[in-house]
Structure 1
């Protein structure tokens, strides 16, 4: 005889479906921190991730330019539109600052023209966060070679932000393998009294668990690439991110609708 199964729900299925939201994430081919992105996201928001095509180039200016090529970004954006995300984010710091302000704006326009209902980039999100926090003097820690770090400094200057200290790890690959202690050490090395805040660049550098202890130890906001990316996407949806002890997520500002 068939057996009847009874399943209890705390709310109706229709309500759950209506409350569900989504973020499309366009990431470089070597992105390895999917799990970290999810940690900032509320339970009713899903991430739809896609990766751009593989390149043999190491992490250099040439690679940053390759992953920001507009036809590549357009194709990747279209790949995440089927589940109907509320916003699409380009989750690569160097790829979104390598072309300066104009290059960043073109990336946003490319995603919107491809069908994204709204779009943002990691570097654009950084400027958005710095403006909200009133930061004009920034210390930066990166995993990059000097040539890429210099382009970040130039991008910040274009946006009216002065870099008062900077240091890079000089890595050409496998950035996701950098341990937390190395991240902490490089951030401490660039913390100078003039810095209003500190920024840890690269979406492939793990940072979630070091933000709160660094802010407590240094007494100033610590921003990271994945943090500002998720914050900006959620802000565009009228939502806030999850992360105790993170100044950016606790500004008291009501998220944009």
Structure 2
């Protein structure tokens, strides 16, 4: 179906309430910390016709991060704001909610992550009659598309305490982390200011013949387009967290579109 055909179908259905005008395939809520600008931008780059995105914020202060204690405080602020943010976002009656953050979904490993996913998914089902995409669980589904992968290298914008949580989660689900490097970005807003050149250096630092796949965590770090380029250059999968979560939301809602420019996950799976 083309965009014009979809819109014409809407216009012909004069009294047909129930379908968003531009979201005639699906309407997704994109739930992000209020400091985050990268998720919305990258999702719109990847968005197929007929999908509407409604970005809603979990309100947190513009926290500076100069040490690990402040990073933990940032993650806690996001967690504290999430339940109310989710309930507020459900008022637009979405088909699905994508959680546009990742650090809090890894925290303390798989057991806690599964528990938090269930908690928020239960709220989404009870209040909005829909399901959610959660970063950690989406990563598990994405990695299952690459059955030969056993060893993973990781980059992030995090402080070391955040990187250690990523390692714990990946080890909990059966993968070996060969190397991990973080930007140690100085604040929640500043994560989105990290240049591609600097991020490329992190990728080069963690890449080795020993790693099967490179994974990027940290949803406010722009990486989706760079991941597609790096995958072609390095000859191995390079997965961006925002591509992973958007891919997961599309596929779990029956949208099969293969979208190029962001790597093999979205173009081939």
| TM tier relative to shorter chain | 0.7 to 0.9
Q: Which residue of the partner structure matches residue 126 of structure 1?
A: 139
- Offset, 1:219: 0.2
- Offset, 1:45: 0.6
Give the structure-2-normalised TM-score. 0.83
Query: Does the C-alpha gap of structure 1 residues 216 and 139 become closer, same or farther in structure 2, counting only changes over 3 Å?
Result: same
**2:250 counterpart of 1:250:** no
The aligned length equals 242
Give the structure-1-normalised TM-score. 0.86
**2:107 counterpart of 1:91:** no
Q: Is the 8 A contact 2:156 2:217 kept in 1?
A: yes
- Offset, 1:82: 2.5
- Offset, 1:245: 5.7
SS at match of 1:243: coil
**2:64 counterpart of 1:58:** yes
Q: Distance in 1 between matches of 2:228 and 2:114?
A: 31
Q: Which residue of the partner structure matches residue 24 of structure 2?
A: 19
Q: 5+ unaligned residues in a row in structure 2: which ranges? A: 66-70
Higher helix share: 2
- Offset, 1:98: 1.2
Q: Distance in 2 between matches of 1:225 and 1:58?
A: 22
Q: Which residue of the partner structure matches residue 228 of structure 2?
A: 212
Q: Distance in 2 between matches of 1:234 and 1:103?
A: 25
Q: Distance in 2 between matches of 1:62 and 1:240?
A: 38
SS at match of 1:132: coil
TM-align CA RMSD: 2.1
**2:192 counterpart of 1:176:** yes
Residue 37 (structure 2) aligned to one of 21, 29, 32: 32
Q: Is the 8 A contact 2:225 2:262 kept in 1?
A: no
- Offset, 1:57: 4.1
- Offset, 1:209: 2.1
Q: 5+ unaligned residues in a row in structure 1: which ranges? A: 1-8
**2:160 counterpart of 1:146:** yes
Q: Which residue of the partner structure matches residue 4 of structure 1?
A: none
Q: Is the 8 A contact 1:25 1:49 kept in 2?
A: yes
Query: Does the C-alpha gap of structure 1 residues 211 and 240 become closer, same or farther in structure 2, counting only changes over 3 Å?
Result: farther
Residue 160 (structure 1) aligned to one of 164, 174, 177: 174
- Offset, 1:172: 2.8
- Offset, 1:236: 1.1
Q: Distance in 2 between matches of 1:196 and 1:247?
A: 14
Q: Is the 8 A contact 1:231 1:240 kept in 2?
A: no
Q: Is the 8 A contact 2:106 2:113 kept in 1?
A: yes
